[in-house]
Structure 1
Amino acid sequence: MRVVTCMMWMASLAYALPHGCVDTQQSVDAAAKLARTVISDTGIGTIMTLMDGSINPDFEGHPFGLMEYYNGDCYKNGDLLLFMSDLQMNARNAREQPNKVSFTVRALKDYNPSWGNRSTPVEQPRVAMMGEIKLVNESPNDDELMKCFATKHPEAKAWQQFHDFHFYRFQVESLYYVGGFGGINYIGWLPLHKYQHASNHGHMHLQ
């Protein structure tokens, strides 16, 4: 009874505390592997940058987030490949403060067993990544990059005709993971090396 009560209490505080109040049933290694799997499977998340004063001085320094496509299988270490337009506000912000970028991903399908008759998003994994974004190639017509990116988003091939699109690499430097309900699932910071060395199913890798 105490474990169940504590677990449910932790579920309501999943965003506030780094670990459960009882020993988690999910190891950090299993959490790192599942985080890598979720990131590999999903392909869509929210990129967060800091608003640049030249774009909107009234909200300079405020966090700004929008949905963005990515492919998490292109780099062996789990970095993300992005293909963004210069018109995208986050691309403009990131060019000014490339080392103040985060990216969040949540599971879009069930990875954990449900409580009751159906699963809810709060029961499933989500991860916040902090890091730096770098322009990979000024040209949108990089066949090797597009070949990998299009394995997740084939519709992006048509965007190469627009010269305002560029490839970016989001270099993951730190990860905070919420596996679901605390006590059952790991909640806390993931060691970077465990994430980087977790298998991503042998997908194609760029240099």
Structure 2
Amino acid sequence: MRLPSASVIGLITTTSAFNLPSPKHLFSNPTDVSSNDFKIPTVHESAVQARRILQLESIGTLSTVFPTTPHATERRPSDVGGAPIGLMDYFGNCEPDTGNPTILAITIATSFKNVDAGSNITLSLRWHPQDSQWRSPASLPRFSLVGRLEDLTADDLKQNPLVPACYLKYHPDAVAWLPGNRIHESKWVRLVVEEVYWIGGFGDRAYIGWIPKEEWQSVTKEEIESIRLPGEKKGWAGWREWVGLGEAQEAFEL
């Protein structure tokens, strides 16, 4: 009789220890909702969760496509034209009423050179729990914002002068790359969200699919402050706690 390998035994032990529910759907929602064991959040509830993640996270992946024409100053392999590339970058939720993340674009960086050459762009991010409890990464929410970059004009920064301070609160080290620095040319841009693709977790207990732009934009500050994500540490509950309405509700565990 062949005994299970040590790695398999370890996996079984770990799974049993955490008593993980067995997901019935990984990357799609069930067709018969009435037979499902979990209440799947609505599209709007999923949009609220995504907007809270946008508020709490600050690092994501920018995905662009290499142009098919050679770059004037950069030596690239001849066969990368048309190929996508995803690179880590900073962002900040510094225009929170709009849902459009703020980015400090270093113009020499590949993502922004590709955009200047005509590429579209997406920002992908995922929720990182703040506690020490183990969770399957596949069970946690993640999403992609599909859109376009738009420069923040002098008038934009005059109307919202706290954008740089907001961004530096997320990324103190970025002070060295602010516009006018001696290292690289940079500028403030916003990613204007045009489409949102959301994977809330396993498909039998979380919504998976597109979130309309109108739904994304309709989320209010009060809704964002009213929930807590899985593994989010309890503490300051935003405006609700300040006005004496108690702690925010924690989002369901996926």
Q: TM-score range by the shorter chain?
A: 0.7 to 0.9
1:153-164 mapped onto 2 (5 Å cutoff)? 153-160=171-178, 161=181, 162-164=183-185
1:1-207 to 2 correspondence within 5 Å?
Answer: 8-11=23-26, 14=27, 17=28, 19-23=29-33, 25-52=40-67, 53-55=69-71, 56=76, 57-97=78-118, 100-109=120-129, 118-137=134-153, 144-160=162-178, 161=181, 162-200=183-221
Shift of the 178–22 alpha-carbon distance from structure 1 to 2, 3 Å rule, reads: farther
Q: Describe the superposition over 1:120-170 as per-residue Cα deviations: whole angstroms up to 9, x where unpaired.
A: 2111100011111122259xx996431221121122122222341211111
Higher relative contact order (CA 8 A, sep 6+): 1
List runs of 5+ in structure 1 lacking aligned partners: 1-6, 112-116
Please say if residues 108 and 184 of structure 2, whose CA atoms lie closer than 8 Å, have aligned partners that are also in contact: no
TM-score, with length taken from structure 1? 0.79
Moved over 6 A (4+): none
Provide the alpha-carbon RMSD of the alignment: 2.8
Letter paired with 2:108: L
Question: What letter is aligned with 1:124?
Answer: L
Could you say which structure has the higher strand fraction? Answer: 1
Native 8 Å contact 2:93 2:101 kept in 1: yes
- Distance 1:39-1:22 versus aligned 2 partners, 3 A rule: farther
Q: CA deviation at 1:94?
A: 0.8
Structure 2 counterpart of 1:58, one-letter code = D
The one-letter amino acid paired with 1:122 is A
Alignment check: 8 A CA contact 2:60 2:91 kept: yes
Q: TM-score, normalised by structure 2?
A: 0.65
Which amino acid letter does the alignment assign opposite residue 155 of structure 1? D
C-alpha change, 1:197 and 1:40, in structure 2 (3 Å) is same
Structure 1 residues 53-79: Cα deviation after superposition (integer angstroms, max 9, x where no partner): 323342111111100100124241101
Matching residue's letter, 2:169: T
What is the Cα deviation at residue 108 of structure 1?
A: 1.2
| Residues 20, 186 of structure 1: 8 Å contact kept | no
Deviation at 1:39, TM superposition (A): 1.3
Q: Which has the larger radius of gyration?
A: 2
Residue 36 of structure 1 and its aligned partner are, at CA, apart by 0.5
Distance 1:96 1:144 in 2: 30
> What's the CA shift string for 1:72-97, capped at 9, x where partnerless?
24241101110021221001001122
Post-superposition shift, 1:35? 0.6
Give the Cα separation in 1 of the matches to 2:197 and 2:176.
34
* Counterparts in 2 of 1:48 and 1:60: CA distance versus 1, 3 Å: same
| Maintained 8 Å contact 1:74/1:149 | no
Kindly state the Cα deviation for residue 9 of structure 1 after the two structures are TM-superposed: 3.8
Change in 2 beyond 3 A, CA 1:125/1:73: farther
